[in-house]
Structure 1
Amino acid sequence: MPFQHPEEIGYGYVIERYVKRKDSDHPRYRELRSGRVLRPGWPHAKRFARHLIDDAATISDAELEALLGYEWRSRFTAAWLIGVGRRDTFRERIGDLLLASEFCFSGSAYCFALARFGTHADAEILTAYLDHYLPRTDLRYDQPAALGALLRLDAHLGTRHADRFTEPDGLWDRWVQALAHLQDSPYFTPAEQRRLTDLLCDFANGWTQP
């Protein structure tokens, strides 16, 4: 499907309303990508979370599709809204976008959404992604986020999909070792990726509790 600016299909307002919406010093997509929402003491956290929850509940499917059909910022934001709202009718769409990996950055939000959905179907999508992209040791896409999401789902579902990726000298180790700037980094371990996914999902759970 060709990329379309939302204006072309009658939804030109969605970028300003959902993607650039300023609940603090920066647009929403930038705050989400920076991870500032996870930092203790961030003064805008409650307001930012409230607006995010409200938008996740009220955005229409058509508006989400308009965002998912455009560039990485809009896709990233749409996937976050889908994940926060657990809009699992978008599972197949999110899975297709993740596997296509057309843009940088947005894939981590797709992984967040799949982790939030929390089912075997989501684990299968993440497994398919890792099967395809972990052997590509020349590429750094969203392998870390996908592994972290899969590890969280394994713990939740009682499955072991991630085992064959994380075994010693397995696909994960080979992928990390092939990218020199990742070697010896404590960030690029399965445990750290699981921890980061847990932080995001636990914060989302906290925001959306009654």
Structure 2
Amino acid sequence: MPSQRPEEIGHGHVVESYVTRMYGGLPRYLVLNGGRFLGPRWWHTTRFTRHLIADAAAITDEELEALLGYEWRSRLTAGWLIGVDRRERFRTRIGDLLLASEVCYSGGAYCFALARFGTHADAEILTAYLDRYLPRTDLRYDQPTALGALLRLDAHLGTHHADRFIRPDGLWDEWVNALPHLRDHPAHAPAEQRRSTDLQCDFADGWTRP
């Protein structure tokens, strides 16, 4: 589906209101993408987080759809807002966007949202994504964040969806080893992907109601 500018569908305010608001000299979408608010020393974390939680509760479904129908910055922000507020009614929508992988960067936000939803349906979406994209060793998309989210869901649900991907010489090893500089790099260990997802979700859990 081609992207539509929000103003074309009567939501011209959403980018300025939710995507490009500035924190410490950076727009929200860059803060979300870089993850600096997850660290202990960023001075703007409290203000950033309070605004993020408030906007996640206040944004309407129509405004979220306007963001999801636009470019990567808007989709990334929408994914985070959906995940923070646990709007599970967007599961199918963000699952479709994740599987389509039309734009860069936003897929990590979709994986965060699915991890926050925390159900078997979300694990199935992440499994389908990895089935589609791990064999594509030429593509560096959102395989790491999808694996991290799936590992978290497996631990939460008592399932083992990720086992077949991370077994020795399995699809994860093949994907990582396709680029020599990634081999044996600790950042690409499955446990590190799980840790990154845990950090995001624990952050959101600490500021929102369960």
TM-score, normalized by length of structure 2? 0.98
- Cα offsets for 1:129-174 (capped at 9, x unmatched): 0000000011110000000000000000000000000000000000
The CA distance in 1 between the partners of 2:71 and 2:43, in whole Å, is 30
SS at match of 2:26: coil
Between stretches 175-184 and 133-142, larger displacement belongs to: 175-184
Q: Deviation of residue 118 (structure 1)?
A: 0.2
In the alignment of these two chains, the number of paired residues is 210
The CA distance in 2 between the partners of 1:149 and 1:180, in whole Å, is 25
Q: Deviation of residue 207 (structure 1)?
A: 1.3
The CA distance in 2 between the partners of 1:11 and 1:37, in whole Å, is 28
Unaligned 5+ residue runs, structure 1? Answer: none
- Cα offsets for 1:40-60 (capped at 9, x unmatched): 121111111100000000100
- Counterpart residue number, 1:35: 35
The CA distance in 2 between the partners of 1:93 and 1:171, in whole Å, is 26
Q: What is the root-mean-square deviation in Å for CA atoms of aligned residues?
A: 0.9
Q: Deviation of residue 25 (structure 1)?
A: 1.8
- Counterpart residue number, 2:53: 53
- Counterpart residue number, 2:86: 86
Q: Percent identity, aligned pairs only?
A: 75
The CA distance in 1 between the partners of 2:124 and 2:31, in whole Å, is 29
- Counterpart residue number, 1:144: 144
- Map residues 127-206 of structure 1 onto 2, 5 A cutoff: 127-206=127-206
The CA distance in 2 between the partners of 1:180 and 1:133, in whole Å, is 19
Is the 8 Å Cα contact of residues 24 and 48 (structure 1) preserved in structure 2?
A: no
TM-score, normalized by length of structure 1? 0.98
- Counterpart residue number, 1:6: 6
- Counterpart residue number, 1:69: 69
Q: Which amino acid aligns with 2:160?
A: R
Q: Deviation of residue 209 (structure 1)?
A: 3.7
